[in-house]
Amino acid sequence: MPDALPKTSMLALSRVHYPVSALGPGRRIGIWFQGCDRRCAGCISADTWAFAEPSLSLEDLMQALAPWLAACDGITITGGEPLAQFDALAALVHRLKAENPKSILLYTGQTYDAACPQLAALSPSIDAAVCGPYEAGLPQTLALRGSDNQTLHCLTPLGEREFASYERILQPEDKTLDVMLDDDGTAWLAGIPRRGDIHNLTRLLDARAGMNGIEKFSQRKGME
Ligand code: SF4
């Protein structure tokens, strides 16, 4: 780890969860950053848009992740816009890499060209990145991506091994959504819904419960 990196940092997160299986290979830890000012039309994670005062220390986060780190196949960091908290993100990924050799996938709403300097500064801790904002008017045909403007970049040899195979058309067998249940009964989604998934889910819940089921959902995703 470079000497200049802070040993601790405060983060504003929306959620952490394990396991997540729809945002990269295997059973992954999902970390959702809070705050994004891009406001993409059709974003299903509007709950992560509001910026919040960073209130979680890196030490506390690492303690929370500790039981999952040995078991997980990798870590996916999304939001929100993780690069908007660059110093905290840098401290986090360097710490994760120092303690865990597994792959780290980052989602950012920035294009690759725009994100390049920050990705270079995070090297080699980020193994792969999906770059670009969600564009609801574009087709969605590519694995791990919500719209076809988004680009996948393998940034390390590990990233090449684990993510190069995702540079392909979305297959019917690709898992795109995890449905989670919190202790309080709240259901939420992690992943990248296919077009129409949310509409169909809402209709199903409406039909089953006679209520607006979408209000019962707190949704999280990779950049869909
Ligand atoms: S899709 Fe991603 S970049 Fe766009 S508003 Fe939602 S969280 Fe932000």
Does residue 205 belong to any structural domain of this protein?
no
The pLDDT value recorded for residue 113 is 98
How does pLDDT run across 47-81, given as a tens digit for each residue? 999 999 999 999 999 999 999 999 999 999 999 99
Does residue 189 belong to any structural domain of this protein?
no
Residue 32: pLDDT band with limits 50, 70, 90: very high
Does residue 131 belong to any structural domain of this protein?
yes
Q: What is the mean pLDDT of residues 126-148?
A: 96
Does residue 195 belong to any structural domain of this protein?
no
Which residue bears the tokens 């670009």?
132
Does this model's pTM top 0.75? My answer is yes
Best residue among 33, 134, 192 to mutate for probing ligand 1's pocket (most ligand atoms within 8 Å of CB) is 134
Domain count, the chain: 1
Residue range of the domain that includes 47 = 10-173
Percent of the chain past pLDDT 70, that is, above it, reads 89
Position 211 pLDDT exceeds 60: no
Q: What is the mean pLDDT of the chain?
A: 88
Best residue among 81, 106, 138 to mutate for probing ligand 1's pocket (most ligand atoms within 8 Å of CB) is 81
Does residue 211 belong to any structural domain of this protein?
no
Closest ligand 1 atom to the C-alpha of 223?
A: 2
Name all residues whose Cβ lies below 6 A of ligand 1.
36, 38-40, 43, 45, 48, 79-81, 109, 133-134, 223
Q: Indicate which CATH number applies to the domain containing 142.
A: 3.20.20.70
DSSP string, the chain: --TTS-S--EE-EEEEEEEE-SSSSSSEEEEEE-------TT-S-GGG-S-----EEHHHHHHHHHHHHTT-SEEEEESS-GGGGHHHHHHHHHHHHHH--SEEEEEESS-HHHHHHHHHHHTTS--EEEES---TTS---BTT-SSTT-EEEE-SHHHHHHHGGGSSBPPTT---EEEEE-TTS-EEEEE-PPTTHHHHHHHHHHHHHSS-GGGGEEE--S--
Does residue 96 belong to any structural domain of this protein?
yes
The pLDDT value recorded for residue 158 is 98
Does residue 57 belong to any structural domain of this protein?
yes
The pLDDT value recorded for residue 3 is 45
